[in-house]
Each structure stands twice: as structure tokens, then as C-alpha cells.
Structure 1
Amino acid sequence: MTTIAVTGHMDLTESTVPLVQEALRSLLRVYNADELTGVTCLARGSDTLFAEAVVEAGGHLIAVLPSQDYQEAKVKPDHAPAFNRLAAVADVVIMPYDTANRDAYEAANGELLKRADRLVAVWDGKPSTGKGGTADTVEQARDAGLPVDVVWPSEAQRGA
């Protein structure tokens, strides 16, 4: 069994989405469906694209939600259909925080890494702008000795 966690940018441009989707599909092709588990927080952008690729590959999905109010507080109406569809097929783990905040996000990222054999980072390689961003999660994974696969196609871009 291989358990792969994901971290990545939420603000991918529209033209970047299909590039990242194909890169994730390609990365996951080497795993047998019955031996693949994906772990994600189901945030918009990279987390959702990864979750969709895991489901498409026939793998098992675990969703680690940072707080009790995460869906109501942080899932915007345009993202809700994908979030709900993926949460419905995942084993959902809710972190013991009432409110979605920086501490809850950091704890959720720690839980992702605890469960993982490796990390996929949809990451432009730049430092985090705040505590607990993609770069910080990559650094924590590397410090813990987890292999990290960085996915950032050459034409990928982040939006505003």
C-alpha cells in the first residue's frame, strides 16, 4: 500500500489546471489502484485536482478536514460541488478544532504527513508567504525523510 499526501497552491490559473491534471495522472499511473491511497484536505486547486486523479486512478481517498466548521467557513459555492462529490467517496477525518484557522491548517498538514509514505507538492518552488504554506509543508516532509514529488509543469502559473 502506498499512501500519498498532497500539498499545493489553491490559486492555479485556468490554463494551468489541465497541465497539473495531466502531470498528476502521469505520476499516479505507476501505482496499482488497490494499493493507492491519497490524503488531501480537499481545498480548492491542487488538493482537489489530486483527489480527482486518485479517484480516477481507482485509489482510496482520505480527506483530512482542518476543523469542524471547515466546509461551512471555507468551501466557497463554486467549489462546493467538487468538495461534496469527493468527500462523499472519501474517508473523512475532522481535526479537533472548532474553527478553521492557521493552527487548524498546520495540524491538518501535520496529519497528512503522519499518514503519508510520500508527498506530492503542486508547487512553484517559491517560499511560503505565510506560516503553513506549501513550501513549509514540503520542508516538513523533507525534514521527516518523506520523498517529495514536485509537480509544476513548465507553463504553469498562479493567479491573483
Structure 2
Amino acid sequence: MMSIIGVTGHRELTAAITTHVRAQIVAMLREQPNPLLGLGSLADGADQLFAETVLQEGGRLHVVLPAAGYENTLHDGKTYQRLLAAAAEVTTLDFTEPGPPAYEAAGRYVAERCDLLVAVWDGDTPRGPGGTFAAVSYARSIGKPVRICWPDGAVRP
């Protein structure tokens, strides 16, 4: 049986938050039965951190691209390209341009197909449509387990 672990999370993380969250993700991944498949969109921040950690822990990646031109919305193109090249599978959703509807659809895709959704999330209300709050809310509404990874007392940048 394969463990399919999805990710959603904030795009901007401080160095301290990144260190803490990486340790939480490593511990959580090591609890899962192998083989391990990480499912996410490779957005800056949480998605790329999760994907790198999955690969370091010997898992495989299934990348869900929200739309054509998605890579143009990212700050860390080198990391994105490296992780995309390492993916075992890539699914591109049928949106002509990136934006909240595509991001929300990608979050739903991940939530529907994972066994567990990892949310690198401060638990706060959304800053806009289609983000982490929407993905977590949807996952919970369809009965998927959600694991929050966030340092106590940390403030999102």
C-alpha cells in the first residue's frame, strides 16, 4: 500500500519557520508506510519545502500544476525546475492562466487524492481566495485527515 501525502501551505516562510516545519514534516513522513508519494503544486515556500523533504526521505513526487504559465508566478524558478524534473508524474489542470480559480482547483485535486493533507498553515483566516485555508477547509469537508505543521507562536511574514 502506498502512502499519498498531499501538501498545502503558505508561500512565504521565515528561516526559523522553515527549520521547524522541515523537522515536523520529516517526523510525519517517517510515520507513514512506504512507498511514499508526495502530492503538491511546487509553489514557493511550503510546497517546495515539502517536495524536497519527500525526495530526501526516499519518496516520489506527483506534481499538480494549476495552469499553463504557472512557473511564471514563482520566485524560486531554479528550485521549481529541479523539483519538476525529479517528479515521477506531472498533472497540469485545464486552466489557461494561473490565479485563484486554478489554485483552488489544484488544492481540491490534492485533497481528493491524498490519504493525508499536510498544511503548513498558521491557522489564520485567508488572505485571498484559493489558498491554504480553502484547501484545508475542503479536505476537512470531504473527511480527509489534515496535519497542521506550524511552530507555536510563529507569525506569518
TM-score range, shorter chain: over 0.9
Partners of 1:66 and 1:107 within 8 A in 2 = yes
1:22 is aligned with what amino acid?
A
After TM superposition, list the pairs within 5 Å mapping 1:78-117 onto structure 2: 79-90=76-87, 91-117=89-115
| Structure 1 CA distance for aligned equivalents of residues 153 and 56 of structure 2 | 24
* Distance in 2 (alpha carbons) for counterparts of 1:157 and 1:15: 11
Q: Residue 15 of structure 1: SS of its match in structure 2?
A: helix
Partner residue in 2 for 1:46: 46
- Equivalence for 2:133: 135
Partners of 1:13 and 1:158 lie apart in 2 by 8
Return the alpha-carbon distance in structure 2 between the equivalents of residues 63 and 47 of structure 1: 10
Q: Secondary structure at the match of 1:58?
A: coil
User: How far 1:13 sits from its partner (Å)?
Assistant: 1.2
Take 1:16 and 1:95, find their aligned partners in 2: how far apart are those partners? 30
- 2:74: which partner in 1? 75
Q: RMSD over aligned Cα, in angstroms?
A: 1.2
- Per the TM alignment, residue 155 of structure 1 is displaced from its structure 2 partner at its CA by 5.1
Q: Given residue 47 of structure 1, which amino acid in structure 2 is its aligned partner?
A: D
**Is 1:55 aligned with 2:52?**
no
Superposed structure 1 runs of 4+ greater than 3 Å apart? none
Alpha-carbon shift at residue 112 of structure 1 (Å):
0.8
Partners of 2:133 and 2:100 in 1: CA distance:
15
CA contact (8 A) 2:112 2:139 kept: no
Deviations 1:93-150 (A, max 9, x none): 1111111111111111111112111100011111112222211211110110000101
Contact 1:68 1:94 (C-alpha < 8 Å) held by counterparts: yes
1:37-73 Cα distance to aligned partner (Å, 9 max, x none): 11010000011111111101111101101111111x2
Q: Is the 8 A contact 2:40 2:64 kept in 1?
A: yes
- Structure 1 distance, partners of 2:29, 2:98, is 30
Q: Which runs of 5+ in 1 are unaligned?
A: none
| Matched length | 155
Instruction: Answer whether contact 2:104 2:134 (CA < 8 A) is retained.
Output: no
SS of 2:15's equivalent in the other structure is coil
Structure-1 residue corresponding to 2:122:
124
Give TM-score, length-normalised by structure 2: 0.93
